[in-house]
Amino acid sequence: MFRKLIAPALAATVLLAACNESSTGVTAASDTDDYALLMFGEAGSSLEGTLGTAPAGEPFDGGTAFHRLPDTLRLSAEQIDSIRTLRQAFRAEHQGSLDSLRAVFLRARAARLEGATREEVHAILLEGREIARALHPYVVELHRAVWAVLTPAQRAWLLEHRRRPIVPRPIGRP
């Protein structure tokens, strides 16, 4: 019972805290938020590219740290191909849900760039919560499959250098 009450309250609080206090006042150049990480936690990092690209051209869900691996731990061509194949299969299987979620993320981002309040951005993001909840087990499955492609040394480095989550629980998790 407690979990059912506190989780939505915590999720709402974190979403609100993730935005600025009133209007956001950001520009496209500083637009680096990753709503996939907000919705799915660390598992969202494995989505890189499956939601397409943001208006600036970078992956819309680009929270992965693979590009930051040191040269000694760089992904091999085989690993890159394997991860790309996993993401493409995930995209093909969940295209409708991913497109719907991307539309919500784009509306939230556009509203934020236009100076929307955090409450307004939060309201838009909440529209994608049910989609994210339905996708969550599949995103976790994808994340595990992507991590299985990595060597133990790569996984250890990524865990040591990961972005600290801004939410204790992903928004999309039931």
DSSP string covering 84-124:
HHHHHHHHHHTHHHHHHHHHHHHHHHHHHHTT-BHHHHHHH
pLDDT digits (tens, 9 = 90+) for 62-89: 566 677 788 899 999 999 999 999 999 9
Q: Which of 135, 107, 129, 148 is nearest to 47 (CA)?
A: 135
> For the residues 93-120, what does the mean pLDDT come to?
92
CB 153 within 8 A of CB 74: no
- For 76-84, the CB contacts below 8 A with 24+ separation are 79/149, 79/150, 82/149, 83/146, 83/149
Q: State which of 21-30, 98-107, 158-167 shows the largest mean pLDDT.
A: 98-107
**Looking at the predicted structure, is the pLDDT value of residue 98 above 90?**
yes
Q: Using 50, 70 and 90 to split pLDDT, how confident is the model at 48?
A: confident
How many CA within 13 A on the CB side of residue 104?
A: 20
Please tell me whether residue 134 adopts helix, strand or coil conformation.
Answer: helix
* Residue 53, strand partner residues: 59
Q: Using 50, 70 and 90 to split pLDDT, how confident is the model at 1?
A: very low
Q: Which two tokens stand for residue 144?
A: 């595990």
- Whole-prediction pTM: 0.72
Please tell me whether residue 59 adopts helix, strand or coil conformation.
Answer: strand
Q: What confidence score (pLDDT) does residue 11 get?
A: 41
